[in-house]
Chains A and B, each alone.
Chain A
Amino acid sequence: MKVVAALEPRTTAEVVDAVRSHDRLVVRGGCTKPALSTATDSAVAVDIAGLTGIVEYDPNEFTVTALAGTRVSEVTGLLAANGQYLPFDPPFVAAGATLGGSVASGLSGPNRYRFGGVRDFIIGVRLVDGRGDEVRGGGKVVKNAAGFDLPKLMVGSMGRLGIMTEITFKVFPAPKAWRTLTVAMQGIDDALETIMRLGSLPLDLEAVELTPTATLNVRIGGLEETLEARIQRLERAIGRGDGRALSGDVEQAFWKELREFRWLPDEHKLVKVPVTPTRVTPLHERLDRAGATVRYGVGANVAWVAWPGEMQELDRLLSALELPGLVLIGPPESPRIGHVAGRSFAARIKSVLDPARRFSEV
């Protein structure tokens, strides 16, 4: 790998200039998902960490607009001071993730269970596409149906359709207080059954995560006076009787550990695998046999795989199960592994936004 100095644009005009004057580019923000932001071959890195600042925030509007290089922590701090939050719960916040990187990687955290992921909260975007044109999609109001949904297209685009310069999110009032119930289950199948059962009960759950080995962690939030009764009700619904309720700083720290992936063992790659509850069992058996450590998030809709081996091996494993994968920490050459849906449709879009292939394939 050849090391080339990174470009550090501080304005949109400089981003336009960077795109127009280079043949091969890789965008990077906080570099917390290095498999998506490391330059390979002859590509030049464009570092957007200097493109920073809150552009617009009025708590009454439930929206926040900021430049793409703004650290997520700056936004969540500002929101928290006003009793609001990003309900999609972006990961790697303490590690320095930027808004642009969070959208481009398409990552959401545990609290995504309640109201939705980054795709559900991005409402506007400005970007410099691969032609060097500054374009815009969506807007700054919470509801908008004009034009094609470019903001959603940016989610998971890995910076390979253009360089986002400004992003608008819908935000929500944050729960005033939180509690978490942690329960040891009798194996993964028992845990999955419970997750599916909880899913159809009329309970307002903020997060439902499964940690090794077969520990179910369920988070609730809201007005303090409601939490005790709700935790008891949740305990009855799970029906194990030996749960542990977390609150206060301990509770916050527990979720931060998950969100920041501090549990990732040394020398392991990190791969996101979208899945559904009934497809977890065969996946888990194979991953377990290969010595991987796995956490299942969002009610078993995503597997966060800490992979000890070669990437090709996991690629084959996922392909055999027709599951997709996204490498976040690991070799940067081809971050999308396993089953890839909609490739030809993506190619049509790529041919418009980046016809000269300045960025890698999506």
Chain B
Amino acid sequence: MSSHGLLDALRELYPRTRLLEERAALVPYESDGLASFRMRPLAVVLPETQQEVIDTVRLCHREDVPFLARGSGTSLSGGSMPVAGGLVIALNRLNRIKRLDPRQRLAVVEPGVINLDVSRAAAPYGLHYAPDPSSQSICTIGGNVAFNSGGAHCLKYGMTANHVLGLTAVLPDGEVVELGGESLEQAGPDLVGFFCGNEGLFGIVLEITLRLLPLPERYKTVLAAYHDLEAAGNAVARVIALGLLPSAMEIMDRLALDAAEKAVRAEYPPGAQALLIVELEGESEVVEAELARLTTAIGDSGAYEVRVAASPEERALIWKGRKSAFSAVGRLSPNYLVQDGVVPRGRLGEALRGIERLSRRYGVAVANVFHAGDGNLHPLILFDAREAGAIERAESLAGDILRLCIELGGSITGEHGVGVEKREYLADMFSAVDIEMFKALRLAIDPKELSNRGKMFPPETTVDSRPASRSGETDGSAPAGQPRSR
């Protein structure tokens, strides 16, 4: 590998302002949303055209230097943490919406386009882009594609991959491929679907064709407060049994509520041990008819207070509290880890009791915010990195929670991806043969394992077996585990 050769070539390709080599300029790129993992990159480039991205990848391939594409760095699994000695290709300037075709409900965008900007551009035509990760006001479509991002509304509308119809990508060896197209239908294997969620291991997307959906005519957001968490969980089962398909069903526990309340004053019912948010959306007649059934079922579920948002402002406030929960928890604790395990919906109660038991055993507080509709937990493990052994205890607890999810028949990640954080656990979920097959697919697409090297696969099975260090090569001056403030 020749970093000198690469840097020389990059200096030819980029003006000085778009090739960052100075240490101070690299610091912001050392970590992502999982700030406890850090690694200083070799350099950062800021391409402005698709051709520059292609040229850069080809140079990396020629010089055998690993690279990583980065958007806004909101990954919660360390997915956009730099590769040791590798180049960061920051795509934020590739942020053009190249085509908006409201008649065919399509948008063709570059990877640096912010998720919410797609919906903003589509809104005048009565359309929106459905996937809504909590970070949607800053995260980029390129990152969403790489990690198949979800959001609060994927129960009804699915994840990112369900909304990507076609894409152009540069593979790690420099070949440019076009997958899928503009139609909702395809002939032949769903290569575009397979590409989504590759965690940056298949190269870099240059252009993405997204499907847009009509903006719902009516939203009804119901908020129910409970004296205990399990009752809120049981209410979810009641709603499901009604045969309704809410677009979102979210639960927050006491700790998460306290944090959200302090952070954004969501005016949630005081004294709640758990809060359930259920949202219906669609045609007015449909939503009104379903709401009557929904409120009856929730009224019978032991809630001591039920509210229906009466205005778009009230709805926005309910969601503001929910979507700010992660960053709000930062107010309760100097540091935290977010987990992303999934369990079958029917075993949510069991999972929550298990988490509580583990929390007591470790003496570590855990706040719970989760997508109850699809069994996707987001336990927030609170710790203070200044205490000796605190990080290790938090990580050990996080590992036990993941194993619990697998035991209950679920998954180690619902939407954040494996990244660096959960790579040791992939083997708990998949057999050695499965993982060998995944690795062989990766090698067929990236023979030199250059693109986002070290992610997804357990460390001993990749070219670079060095564990991602918490202080990386930054001489440890960065505070470990500091949550980002957003």
| Min C-beta distance of B130 to chain A, whole Å | 11
Judge whether A241 is part of the interface by a CB distance below 8 angstroms: no
Inside 8 A of B194's CB, which chain A residues have their CB?
148-150, 152-153, 349
Contacts A141-B409, A346-B191 given; does A149 touch B105 at CB 8 Å = no
Question: Do residues B186 and A324 form an inter-chain contact, with CB atoms below 8 A?
Answer: yes
Interface string of B409-420 (1 = CB under 8 A from A): 111111111100
Q: Which of A27-35, A128-136, A256-264, A285-293 contacts B (4 or more CB under 8 A)?
A: A128-136
Inside 8 A of B437's CB, which chain A residues have their CB?
129, 133, 135, 352-353
| Min C-beta distance of B341 to chain A, whole Å | 10
Cα A233 to Cα B285 with chains together (Å): 10
Q: Which of A6-14, A69-77, A247-255, A273-281 contacts B (4 or more CB under 8 A)?
A: A273-281
Residue in chain B with minimal CB distance to A112? B184
Judge whether A282 is part of the interface by a CB distance below 8 angstroms: no
Judge whether A108 is part of the interface by a CB distance below 8 angstroms: yes
Judge whether A199 is part of the interface by a CB distance below 8 angstroms: yes
| Min C-beta distance of B188 to chain A, whole Å | 5
Size category, A interface: 35 or more
Question: Do residues B374 and A142 form an inter-chain contact, with CB atoms below 8 A?
Answer: yes
Q: Which of B49-57, B154-162, B473-481 contacts A (4 or more CB under 8 A)?
A: B154-162
Task: List B273-309 residues whose CB lies under 8 Å from chain A.
Answer: 282-283, 285-286, 289-290
Inside 8 A of B157's CB, which chain A residues have their CB?
115
Question: Do residues B155 and A142 form an inter-chain contact, with CB atoms below 8 A?
Answer: yes
Inside 8 A of A116's CB, which chain B residues have their CB?
158, 162
> Which residue of B188, B374, B422 is within 8 Å of A143 (Cβ)?
B374
Inside 8 A of B416's CB, which chain A residues have their CB?
145
Residue in chain B with minimal CB distance to A203? B283
| Min C-beta distance of B286 to chain A, whole Å | 5
Inside 8 A of A145's CB, which chain B residues have their CB?
147-148, 150, 159, 197, 340, 411, 413-418
| Min C-beta distance of A296 to chain B, whole Å | 11
Question: Do residues B187 and A60 form an inter-chain contact, with CB atoms below 8 A?
Answer: no
Contacts A141-B343, A145-B411, A148-B198 given; does A157 touch B189 at CB 8 Å = yes
Question: Do residues A345 and B179 form an inter-chain contact, with CB atoms below 8 A?
Answer: yes
Judge whether A308 is part of the interface by a CB distance below 8 angstroms: no
Question: Do residues A173 and B244 form an inter-chain contact, with CB atoms below 8 A?
Answer: yes
| Min C-beta distance of B431 to chain A, whole Å | 7
Interface string of B212-223 (1 = CB under 8 A from A): 001111000000
Contacts A133-B437, A135-B437, A141-B375 given; does A342 touch B177 at CB 8 Å = yes
Cα A197 to Cα B371 with chains together (Å): 34
Question: Do residues A200 and B214 form an inter-chain contact, with CB atoms below 8 A?
Answer: yes
Inside 8 A of A199's CB, which chain B residues have their CB?
103-105, 214
Task: List B180-194 residues whose CB lies under 8 Å from chain A.
Answer: 180-194
Judge whether B400 is part of the interface by a CB distance below 8 angstroms: no
Judge whether A155 is part of the interface by a CB distance below 8 angstroms: yes
Contacts A153-B193, A226-B289, A278-B103 given; does A106 touch B187 at CB 8 Å = yes
Q: Which of B4-12, B235-243, B257-265, B318-326 contacts A (4 or more CB under 8 A)?
A: B235-243
Judge whether B245 is part of the interface by a CB distance below 8 angstroms: yes
> Which residue of B162, B282, B342, B442 is within 8 Å of A141 (Cβ)?
B342
Inside 8 A of B414's CB, which chain A residues have their CB?
141, 143-145
Interface string of B461-482 (1 = CB under 8 A from A): 0000000000000000000000
Inside 8 A of A140's CB, which chain B residues have their CB?
344, 409
Judge whether A172 is part of the interface by a CB distance below 8 angstroms: yes
| Min C-beta distance of A360 to chain B, whole Å | 12
Inside 8 A of B417's CB, which chain A residues have their CB?
145
Question: Do residues B183 and A161 form an inter-chain contact, with CB atoms below 8 A?
Answer: no
Inside 8 A of A174's CB, which chain B residues have their CB?
243
| Min C-beta distance of B235 to chain A, whole Å | 13
Interface string of B223-261 (1 = CB under 8 A from A): 000000000000001001101110000000000000000
Question: Do residues B430 and A156 form an inter-chain contact, with CB atoms below 8 A?
Answer: no
> Which residue of B190, B215, B216, B442 is within 8 Å of A156 (Cβ)?
B190
Task: List B61-108 residues whose CB lies under 8 Å from chain A.
Answer: 102-106
Cα A324 to Cα B375 with chains together (Å): 38
Judge whether A196 is part of the interface by a CB distance below 8 angstroms: yes
Cα A199 to Cα B237 with chains together (Å): 33
Question: Do residues B342 and A155 form an inter-chain contact, with CB atoms below 8 A?
Answer: no
Question: Do residues B193 and A149 form an inter-chain contact, with CB atoms below 8 A?
Answer: yes
Inside 8 A of A83's CB, which chain B residues have their CB?
243
Cα A283 to Cα B421 with chains together (Å): 50
Inside 8 A of A341's CB, which chain B residues have their CB?
166, 178-181, 188, 191
Judge whether A146 is part of the interface by a CB distance below 8 angstroms: yes
Question: Do residues B429 and A120 form an inter-chain contact, with CB atoms below 8 A?
Answer: no
Task: List B386-417 residues whose CB lies under 8 Å from chain A.
Answer: 409-417
Question: Do residues B104 and A223 form an inter-chain contact, with CB atoms below 8 A?
Answer: no
Cα A106 to Cα B265 with chains together (Å): 48
Question: Do residues B433 and A134 form an inter-chain contact, with CB atoms below 8 A?
Answer: yes
Judge whether A362 is part of the interface by a CB distance below 8 angstroms: yes
Inside 8 A of A325's CB, which chain B residues have their CB?
187
Cα A342 to Cα B169 with chains together (Å): 11
Inside 8 A of A183's CB, which chain B residues have their CB?
none
Question: Do residues B181 and A274 form an inter-chain contact, with CB atoms below 8 A?
Answer: yes
Question: Do residues B415 and A143 form an inter-chain contact, with CB atoms below 8 A?
Answer: yes
Residue in chain B with minimal CB distance to A138? B411
Cα A325 to Cα B187 with chains together (Å): 6
Question: Do residues B188 and A336 form an inter-chain contact, with CB atoms below 8 A?
Answer: yes
Listed residue (B154, B374, B431) with the most chain A CB atoms within 10 angstroms of its CB: B374
| Min C-beta distance of B213 to chain A, whole Å | 9
| Min C-beta distance of B112 to chain A, whole Å | 22
Residue in chain B with minimal CB distance to A160? B189
Task: List A168-201 residues whose CB lies under 8 Å from chain B.
Answer: 172-174, 176, 196, 199-201
> Which residue of A204, A277, A353 is within 8 Å of B282 (Cβ)?
A204
Judge whether A267 is part of the interface by a CB distance below 8 angstroms: no
Judge whether B426 is part of the interface by a CB distance below 8 angstroms: yes
10 contacts between A and B (CB under 8 A): A83-B243, A116-B162, A145-B416, A147-B430, A148-B197, A201-B126, A223-B290, A230-B285, A275-B183, A276-B182
**Which residues of A come within 8 Å of B, CB atoms?**
58, 60-63, 83, 106, 108, 112, 115-117, 119-120, 129, 133-137, 139-150, 152-158, 161, 172-174, 176, 196, 199-204, 222-223, 225-226, 229-230, 233, 272-278, 298-299, 301-302, 324-326, 336, 338, 340-342, 344-346, 348-349, 351-353, 362
- For the complex of A and B, 9 pairs with smallest distance between CB atoms: A152-B193, A202-B217, A274-B183, A326-B187, A274-B185, A173-B243, A153-B194, A301-B184, A144-B411
